[in-house]
Each structure stands twice: as C-alpha cells, then as structure tokens.
Amino acid sequence: MNIKQRFVGNTELKIDILGLGCAPLGGNFVDLSYEDGTKIINTALHSGMSYFDTAAWYGFGRSERLVGDHLRHKQYVLSSKVGRILKPGAVQNPLDFGMIDPLPFHVIYDYSYDGIMRSYEDSLQRLGLDRIDILLAHDIGAFQHGAENASHFNDLAKSGYKAMSELREQGAVKAIGLGVNETQVCQDALDIGQWDVFLLAGRYTLLEQSPLECLFPACEKAGTSIICGGPFNSGLLVGGDTWNYSKAPKI
C-alpha cells in the first residue's frame, strides 16, 4: 500500500494516516500468542505501514516487548504512553483488567514529573529501542480515575507536562500529547500547555461525533492534531464508505 502521511501538529514529524494499534498484541481482551503478534506486525510492515502505537498498560509490558522486538532496525514511527509505572507482582485476576496472560506486574499511576520520566525510560528499556517518537499521557480523565482524577490532572498540569515538554525540547521525543478515551480531558489539557496531538479512542466513530462540536475546533485553533483510535468501535462497526470525514482536523 502507498499510505498517505500527514504532519503531527506543527512538528516536522509525519505519520501514516493508518496505523497499527498494538493493545491486542499485549493480550488485551484477546488471546494472541507471540507468534500471532509477530505475523500481525510483519504483515503491517510488508503492507507499507510504518506507524505503531503501544503502551505499558497493554499486557503490563507485553505489547511493548513484542513491538520493540519487531521494529528494531526497521523504519518506524512509534507512539507509547506514560502515566503508569509497572511494579513487580502479578495481579490476582488479569481478566479484571481485560488482560489475557499479561506479564507479572501491576500498575501504579503517576503523572508527576518524576513519574513521567521514569515511565518513559522504563518503556525504552522494555522496547529495547533508542527512541519513542510520540509520547502520550495515558488514560487520564474523570471516567478513568473518578474522584482521584483531580489529583492526577493537577500532577500533570504542575509538573508532568514539564517533563514531557522537556523531552520534546531535548529532541528525545518529536511530539507529545494525550492518549485517552475521554473528550473533556483533552479540552481541559489545552489550557495547560502546547500539545502536538491527542490520540482519542472511541469518541469519533460512526456512532459518535460529539468532538466535532467543541474539541476539534479547539484543537484546530491550537494546532493540535487528532489521531482517531478505534473508529469502528473496537470492531463493532464495519463499512462507512459514504462517511464524510471532512470536518475532522488533520491527524
């Protein structure tokens, strides 16, 4: 495939308009072996795809290890996420977290300066790669954290954003943003800094277009791109040949 590319925000980074989300490769809600994951990544690469998205959360590090193994020495653009630190010790029932056969870790949320830096460095170690191109603060928002979100968002606003911005300024990453399932937190985040991109999952689909009303215009004004995750509602929807995406900002 000859996949078109677009710039991320106002950066010099270009990504494919179609990328591979690697949550299932960590065993999130699906039982995939290492060999299955290998075939999926190789098929994507052989098809001309170069943009991949992963996170520490996916299989508690399992997805990052698999993705790193198969992107090493390849041409790629990679996004991964910060805000969760993996600690040794398996969870009692992985299915409570939507995981099948994850690595033996559990998650601690930390959106502070130190937490962001540690999460970033830990991801590089698991990936076995020397760079992450797009760094996203993962799953922050009221739906995810409930009453605790105010504290987490304050950590991000007061110091976590500074860590991400410094990594961008130093050239360690090329773009920064959020990777979330909630529209409002993206709107709120626009007030605390200059974000290059929001990976917004499940909120701009064939069933829901609420971001068109406020978020997308605000992102266009701020120069923040949108990556639409799960546009078919995680496989619930198929088709859409007549759908008009013209009102969405660039991804």
81 flagged as catalytic = yes
Cβ(172)–Cβ(193) below 8 Å: no
Cβ(75)–Cβ(56) below 8 Å: no
Q: In what order do the strands lie in the sheet with 77-82?
A: 20-21, 51-53, 77-82, 134-138, 175-180, 197-201, 225-229
Instruction: Kindly name the residue from 16, 51, 76, 81 that is annotated as catalytic.
Output: 81
- Tell me the residue length of the chain: 251
Instruction: Kindly name the residue from 16, 51, 53, 111 that is annotated as catalytic.
Output: 53
Instruction: Kindly name the residue from 16, 51, 58, 76 that is annotated as catalytic.
Output: 58
| CA distance linking residue 219 with residue 187, whole number of Å | 8
| CA distance linking residue 197 with residue 178, whole number of Å | 7
SS3 readout for 192-250: CCCCCEEEEECCCCCCCCHHHCCHHHHHHHHCCEEEEECCCCCCCCCCCCCCCCCCCCC
Catalogue the active-site residues. 53, 58, 81
